[in-house]
């Protein structure tokens, strides 16, 4: 099914996957889109449900503006995979017209497990050496979605080939020792509500300013956002695969109170932890007893 969304700033043509949803089907592509935006248009990330976006710039230029104030200019051949549940940046069109392909993927266990194995250093974002190969992978996904006899196995197989091509083209990720030590510290200590930038810097054997500069220039991130991202990753995992109440999850993931977790979770995901739990359970067909979560959120 095709849908067109447009305004004075953009025009997007969506091919929507209308195959019946089957829990545990593997990679589930929601839509394929050919997007055209015009100068100064800022990308929106408000979606009715969680999604992971894979996109490739075909022509034109964009500015990636992060909430910490750092910026980066992106051009044709730039590929990225972004979890929209934890996005911390805006994309602003710089050229008169920018064209790109993107797909929206269901962030289920199959996808998250696969990208964790393919991209252990974090979700990919790079200037492709062979962008035409990625473009053909996107176009294969569009063909599979629009076939009269489309099925999730064929669409998911095409999505896997796109991710595999991205994996082969992604530049080798070589990080300075302080960043490796910082990530190791955050992985080990993120449940500690008292974990600070100073603690991470001490574990990395450099000053806070030096470590902050390394995060900004090498990862396009900040120390604080890395800690928050790791905590949210664990929160999502526990909401989906456990029946623990939100108060217990908050204590396990570095939040003083369930209220603080709920407030930050809503700011990042646009919904409460319990709403996310219900949604993820419906998507993975793993319902949990209501009694396990009553009274939190």
Domain spans of the chain, in order of start: 2-169, 177-292
Q: Supply the DSSP symbol for 171.
A: P
Q: Which of 34, 32, 41, 31 lies closest to 10 in space, CA to CA?
A: 41
Q: Decide if pLDDT at 289 tops 50.
A: no
**155-159, 167-171, 274-278: lowest mean pLDDT where?**
274-278
Please provide the CATH number assigned to the domain covering 2-169: 2.60.120.10
Q: Decide if pLDDT at 124 tops 50.
A: yes
Q: How confident is the model at residue 292 (pLDDT cuts 50, 70, 90)?
A: very low
> Of all residues in the chain, what percent are helix, strand and coil, respectively (each to 5)?
45, 20, 35
Q: Decide if pLDDT at 293 tops 50.
A: no
- Which has more pLDDT, 295 or 124? 124
The answer to whether 280 and 19 are in contact (CB under 8 A) is no
Q: How confident is the model at residue 136 (pLDDT cuts 50, 70, 90)?
A: very high
The share of the chain scoring above pLDDT 70, in percent, equals: 88
Q: What value does the mean pLDDT take over residues 165-188?
A: 88
- Across the chain, mean pLDDT equals 85
- Which has more pLDDT, 165 or 65? 165
Q: Decide if pLDDT at 236 tops 90.
A: no
Q: How confident is the model at residue 25 (pLDDT cuts 50, 70, 90)?
A: low
Q: Which pLDDT value is given to residue 46? A: 54
Q: What is the pTM of this model?
A: 0.63
Q: What value does the mean pLDDT take over residues 122-131?
A: 90
- Which has more pLDDT, 250 or 271? 250
Q: Which pLDDT value is given to residue 296? A: 43
Q: How confident is the model at residue 24 (pLDDT cuts 50, 70, 90)?
A: low
Q: How confident is the model at residue 64 (pLDDT cuts 50, 70, 90)?
A: confident
Count CB neighbours of 167 within 10 A.
14
Cite the DSSP H helix spans in 46-169: 109-118, 131-146, 152-169
Q: Which of 66, 147, 145 lies closest to 104 in space, CA to CA?
A: 145
- Which has more pLDDT, 94 or 271? 94
Residue 282 host element (H or E)? helix 273-284
- Which has more pLDDT, 67 or 284? 67
What homologous superfamily does CATH list for 177-292? Homeodomain-like (1.10.10.60)
Q: What value does the mean pLDDT take over residues 154-179?
A: 89
- Between β-strands 52-59 and 78-83, what pairing exists: parallel, antiparallel or unpaired? antiparallel
Q: Decide if pLDDT at 256 tops 50.
A: yes
Q: How confident is the model at residue 181 (pLDDT cuts 50, 70, 90)?
A: very high
Q: Decide if pLDDT at 271 tops 90.
A: no
Q: Which pLDDT value is given to residue 217? A: 81
């Amino acid at each position: 099914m095709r849908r067109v969304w447009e305004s004075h700033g953009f025009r997007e043509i969506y091919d929507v996957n209308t195959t019946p949803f089957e829990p545990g089907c593997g990679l589930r592509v929601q839509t394929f889109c050919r997007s055209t935006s015009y100068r100064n248009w800022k990308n929106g990330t408000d979606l009715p449900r969680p999604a992971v976006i894979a996109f490739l710039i075909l022509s034109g230029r964009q500015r990636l503006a992060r909430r910490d104030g750092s910026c980066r200019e992106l051009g044709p051949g730039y590929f990225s995979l972004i979890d929209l549940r934890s996005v911390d940046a805006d994309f602003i069109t710089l050229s008169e017209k920018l064209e790109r392909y993107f797909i929206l993927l269901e962030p289920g266990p199959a996808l998250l497990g696969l990208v964790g194995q393919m991209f252990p250093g974090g979700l990919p974002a790079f200037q492709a050496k062979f962008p035409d190969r990625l473009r053909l992978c996107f176009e294969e996904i569009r063909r599979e979605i629009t076939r009269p006899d489309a099925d999730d196995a064929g669409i998911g197989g095409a999505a896997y080939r796109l991710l595999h091509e991205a994996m082969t083209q992604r530049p080798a990720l070589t990080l300075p020792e302080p960043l490796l030590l910082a990530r190791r510290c955050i992985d080990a200590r993120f449940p500690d509500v008292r974990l600070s930038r100073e603690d991470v810097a001490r574990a990395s054997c450099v000053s806070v300013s030096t470590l902050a500069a390394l995060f900004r220039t090498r990862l396009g991130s900040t120390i604080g956002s890395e800690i928050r991202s790791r905590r949210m990753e664990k929160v999502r995992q526990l909401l989906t695969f456990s029946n623990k109440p939100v108060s217990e999850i908050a204590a396990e993931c570095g939040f003083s109170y369930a209220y603080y977790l709920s407030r930050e979770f809503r700011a990042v995901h646009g919904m409460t932890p319990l709403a996310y739990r219900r949604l993820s359970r419906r998507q993975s067909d793993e319902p949990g007893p209501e009694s396990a979560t009553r009274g939190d959120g």
